[in-house]
Amino acid sequence: MSEDIVANRVRRGFYLDSVALMRLSATLSGREGVESATLMVGIPSNLEILDEAGLLTAEGRGAGPDDLVIVVRATRRSAIDAAFEAAAESLERAAESEEASDRRYPGLRSACEALPGANLALVSVPGPFAAHEARRALGRGLNVLLFSDHVSVEDEVALKREAGRRGLLVMGPDCGTAIIDGVPLAFANRVRRGDIGVIAASGTGLQEFSVLVHRSGGGISHGIGVGGRDLSDEVGAASTLAALEALEHDAGTRHVAILSKPPGPRTEAALIARLAECPKPVTLCLVGRDDAELPANVHLAPTLRDAARHALGPGASESARDAGPGPHPGARPGRIAGLYTGGTLCAEGQAILRRAGARVASNAPIPGVARVDRSGPATAGPPAPGPVHQLLDLGADEYTTGRPHPMIEPAMRAEALEQALADAEVSVVLLDVVLGTGSHPDPATEVTRAIASAPASRPAVVASVCGTDLDPQNASAQRRALERAGVFVAESNADAVEAALSLTAK
């Protein structure tokens, strides 16, 4: 059997948004004869990743930070040549599309001159350059949504201090979701405008919350992402506190919701003290936290589902509740295999299982949950009755370095799904299907394809669809496709986890 061939091609002085590059990588990887394809900006850290993976050739080593490196690994030279040709055509189309846009500007200065009323800059450049660009935007009086990751905590603290001095807000770094004045930014869902303001140190947490509010007839005034580290003791909730002040003064916001994993202890104490002064009611959801001493105006919700219900208030309509999954022909004792694309949804699932007394392990464990890696099965402490349920965050760095995020390319999850469906020890496969701007146009397809090729005795499959019918993918259409394939689709991630746990007891 012949060895795979690896080849690089460098496109000089070419930049394209990272999401577009990931999607093109996935498209090229699906070509006949191609084992994998990757498109990356030629910054040193990316070249190091490629080199460690054995994917960097002499040509790729010569790339600079302004260049694009195209990497193809294939079984034959003809497949590599065809992939390079397809990449060149796609990149030309992308470049022509950007050149044809009358909203494209050569730099920050010209953009500010052309749009004098703008007050927000979205920064999405490789990590080593992100802090510099964010600082330039702050200097021009712009709030910043910092989509880029790999920004140091020192740079994050400095940027947020600078923003505070200027009366501005930094959302991020690694801020994947925001809804500002009803406009979804980055990975967000299209939801109704309303009177609930959200502050979230979690992208999929903000998505799930806003979708559940929308389905129950409510709406979002603003959804402000602050980045996953904002409530750490190193950062001290700088953006959370600034966003809270903004929502307090916003006449269109009646209720404030704050969504996060548990903060650092010093930051939590400071945040709770500040919330006691808030003139508006607050719903606090600290995924994995079951109790906390809170002022009278603050309610602690154990799940995103409960947070949405509380924020809506008693007068809101409630989404239709299902009767739960019925008997499944492949039902058997065993464990839950959770294959998540959303990190906060995975964390919420762990919290629900832990609260129910089940044993659970994850590659991204919350406090009290065992850690498992890709090398072997999970263990969760000393031997005890019952299975160890395994919930994986497939969007974690260990799965996505140099590859598209599974929300962008759901085929990433297909291999793990196929393995789980063929695993005799798995009783239920638990999935999230996340829709919205930036996500794959039809994520249900890879799920239904894997189920169609699974053994007849496959485990039950339970899923939740995080999206609305206003989203490009249409949540109802995605749900119907999953249900036709035999998937039980729950109303929320929390409902899906509870349904999966009920099936393991049947």
Q: How far is Cα 84 from Cα 248, in angstroms, rounded to an integer?
A: 53
Q: Do residues 60 and 116 both lie within one domain? A: no
As a whole number of Å, the CA-based R_g of the chain is 23
Last residue of a domain, one of 100, 134, 162: 100
- State the Cα–Cα distance between residues 11 and 66, nearest whole angstrom: 9
Query: What is residue 185's DSSP assignment?
Result: E
Statement to judge: residues 89 and 119 lie in one domain:
no
Q: Which of 380, 350, 381, 377 is nearest to 366 (CA)?
A: 350
Predicted confidence at residue 330, as pLDDT, reads: 56
Boundaries of domain holding 95: 5-100
pLDDT tens per residue across all 506 residues of the chain:
457 899 999 999 888 777 678 778 878 887 889 888 889 889 888 898 888 888 999 999 999 988 999 999 999 999 999 999 999 999 888 776 655 455 667 788 888 888 888 999 999 887 778 999 999 999 999 999 999 888 999 999 999 999 999 999 999 999 999 999 999 998 999 999 999 999 999 899 999 999 999 999 999 999 999 999 999 999 999 999 999 999 999 999 999 999 999 999 999 999 999 999 999 999 999 998 888 889 999 999 999 999 999 999 986 655 545 556 666 655 567 899 999 999 999 999 999 999 999 999 999 999 999 998 765 544 444 444 568 999 999 998 888 776 778 888 887 798 899 999 999 999 999 999 999 988 888 999 989 999 999 998 999 999 999 999 999 999 999 999 999 999 999 999 999 999 999 999 76
Structural domains counted in the chain: 3
Is 411 domain-assigned? yes
The CATH number linked to 489 is 3.40.50.261
Specify the pLDDT at position 341: 95
Is residue 321 situated within a structural domain? no
Residue with tokens 């390319």: 409
Q: Are residues 282 and 153 in the same domain?
A: yes
Angle subtended at Cα 234 by Cα 154 and Cα 209, rounded to the nearest 5 degrees: 105
Q: Is the domain of 304 the same as that of 340?
A: no
CATH of the domain at 24: 3.30.70
pTM: 0.86
User: CA-to-CA distance for 251 and 156, rounded, in angstroms?
Assistant: 30
What pLDDT sits at residue 379?
47
